[in-house]
A and B are shown apart, each in its own frame.
Chain A
Amino acid sequence: MLGQNEQNMKKRMEGRVAANKISMVLFGLATAVGLIVLVLLFYRVLTQGVGYLSLDYILNFPAPYPEEAGIYAGLIGSIFLMIIVAVFAIIIGVATAIYLEEYAPQNRFTDFIRVNIQNLAGVPSIVFGLLGLTFFVYMFSFGYTLLAGGLTMALLILPVIVVAAQEAVRSVPSEIKEASYGMGASKWQTIARVVLPAAIPGILTGAIIALSRAIGETAPLIIVGAATAIYTLPDSLLAKYTVMPIQIYNWTGRPQEEWQYVAGAGIIILLAVLLLMNSIAVLIRNKYQRRF
């Protein structure tokens, strides 16, 4: 009687151990799915696009024939757009973060700003496009221009920059702030000369990551009227422009297969730019990581 019970126990135990082993493999495989897809995606893009990749491709404007088409307008347009986005989003984002971390009183309005930023981060990017269309394109009469696109994108990534900057400002040790106050520095002197310089690596890392999100965004720029094909570079804030993702979208949508290769080449360039930006962010982070 007792022996059989033990036998049962042992059998059940073996079953449980086996289930444990199988599930571990299963969980590992599930984790691998994401990685496999990533590899497939890179492989696909590379094999499709690399044939069309050349210096000409980088330096050519859009063209009616796949062999002549290039991403120059998009590449330069993306860079110009990012400069506008960076200027507005970093200034306003860092200022917001400093306000929230150093000045904001503990009251309802401050809580409201915090919750609001959190919610803004969850608004679909295309809704920001509608915001930009109403205000920047029509109400402020900027039209379908670099400025309208840049401001729209700046608002889109503002929450990301605020959160990153808040973290960077918060991580400045209070000891060195005290040292500054102890020297008779005022609040703003302490922030401008001690807190901000110490927070800059963190702010920069966050800003670059936010910008790398912006440089791949397509939907809001379609709404605020980025051109699909232009043949000159933008020469002012109020010039027409296009960006890499818009060109890629446009090429992807064409029925002839060659255009997919052109799009693939564009994706390689876009991903290369993203890789470059993220490497810079990682470099900054590693260089300044163990400072405090």
Chain B
Amino acid sequence: MDKGLQSEGNMIDVQQMIENNKKKKTVGERIEKIIPFFLLLCAAVSVLTTLGILFTLLRESIGFFSDVSIVNFYTGTNWSPWSGEYGVAPLIGGTLLVTLIATLVAVPLGLMAAIFLSEYANDKVRRIIKPILEVLAGIPTVVYGYFALTFITPMFQSIIPDLGIFNALSAGVVVGIMIIPMVASLSEDAMNSVPNALREGAYGLGATKLEVVFKVVLPAALSGIVASIVLAISRAIGETMIVTIAAGATPNLTFNPTESIQTMTAFIVQAATGDTTFGSTIYYSLYAVGMTLFVFTLVMNLIAQYISRKFREEY
């Protein structure tokens, strides 16, 4: 009757079964059409998240700016929301101070680590050290905050006696340590992608390793390095727990790192933990500050993307 039966004496004919199942296949075809639609919906969640962030920041900020003039908000230098003063400069100043200290720690250390790993270390050393550095990036920030408050600050106090319990210095240093891996690994990637031919050319002229690093590798990897630094700065600006725990809650427009300050993120935490009533001016101020923070980090990220896109075109 059919091929399978005749040649093998076997009772099954797969092709016949496939034929029979073809009717069911129309269900399969419907699934085939629905699935991409479902997947697109899921992919839309990330877009909706962005829209949601923009929507909520804008709407509540607009609510805030109907109570407090936007000019006063951005030009005022006194931030004491519980007595109706909403000049955001001290919070921005606190954020920038901590970020500056963190950058001063992370950039030299991160870059030197990147140079060591990419130019000096052999494969074995690299394979041990890189994952350990990555651990630094995986430590929860609340743990760093604890470390800053209970270890770094007392340590600094033994050197700087009038350092307060809460101060920008410890927080900034620990934020800097946290972002070292970011600078190091992204910069190392940039240095690794410098073609070896460039290095060999310089060695051929009798250059030492150090000279090759500074005259060949760093210039060639510059845009990648800059991008990594900008990204790390963005991370420092948005960092919350370390500064909340270790830098204090004193909105204070100062460039003295030994003083207690308050960052934008720390204010958001403070206002959210306090009994802030929904719909009050302080509640809305959370979003105005959040919006300012968001714009800062977004600009940084866009700059980093722009630089690294240019960087990719180079090779």
Q: A-side interface residues toward B, CB under 8 Å?
A: 16-17, 19-20, 23-24, 26-28, 30-31, 33-35, 37-38, 40-41, 44-45, 48, 91-92, 95-96, 98-100, 103-104, 112-113, 116-120, 122-131, 133-135, 138, 155, 158-159, 162, 186-189, 212-213, 215-219, 222-223, 225, 245, 248-249, 252-253, 260, 263-264, 267, 270-271, 274, 278
Contact = CB atoms under 8 A, between A and B. Distances in A.
Interface in B104-145: 108-109, 112-113, 115-117, 120-121, 129, 132-133, 135-136, 138-145
A9 B1 CA distance: 97
Contacts of A212: 138
Nearest to A277: B138
B140 A274 contact: yes
Contacts of A155: 45, 49
B245 A216 contact: no
B305 A118 contact: yes
B286 interface: yes
Contacts of B269: 126, 219, 222-223
Contacts of B265: 124, 126, 219
B82 interface: no
26 contacts: A16-B210, A19-B208, A19-B210, A20-B210, A24-B116, A24-B210, A27-B112, A27-B120, A31-B112, A45-B146, A92-B42, A96-B39, A122-B301, A123-B53, A127-B238, A127-B290, A135-B56, A158-B45, A158-B49, A186-B28, A222-B272, A223-B269, A248-B142, A249-B142, A264-B146, A271-B139
Contacts of B234: 122
B272 A120 contact: no
B269 to A, nearest CB: 5
Contact of B113 (A30, A45, A138, A267): A30
Contact of B146 (A24, A113, A213, A267): A267
A138 B143 CA distance: 30
Given A19-B208, A159-B46, A216-B140, A249 B145 contact: yes
B56 to A, nearest CB: 4
B116 A270 contact: no
Interface stretch (B4-12, B29-37, B68-76): B29-37
Given A27-B115, A130-B290, 11 more contacts: A38-B139, A44-B147, A119-B50, A122-B234, A159-B46, A215-B140, A216-B142, A218-B240, A219-B265, A249-B142, A278-B138
B227 interface: no
Contacts of B211: 16, 20
Contacts of A245: 140, 142, 241
A155 to B, nearest CB: 5
A134 B57 CA distance: 9
Please report whether the interface of chain A is mostly helix, strand, loop or mixed according to DSSP.
helix
Contact of B116 (A28, A130, A223): A28
B237 interface: yes
A24 B209 contact: yes
Given A41-B147, A245-B140, A245-B142, A98 B238 contact: no
Contacts of A260: 146, 150
Contacts of A20: 208-211
A38 B177 CA distance: 9
B47 interface: yes
B290 A126 contact: yes
B315 interface: no
Nearest to A99: B39
Nearest to A223: B272
A26 B238 CA distance: 31
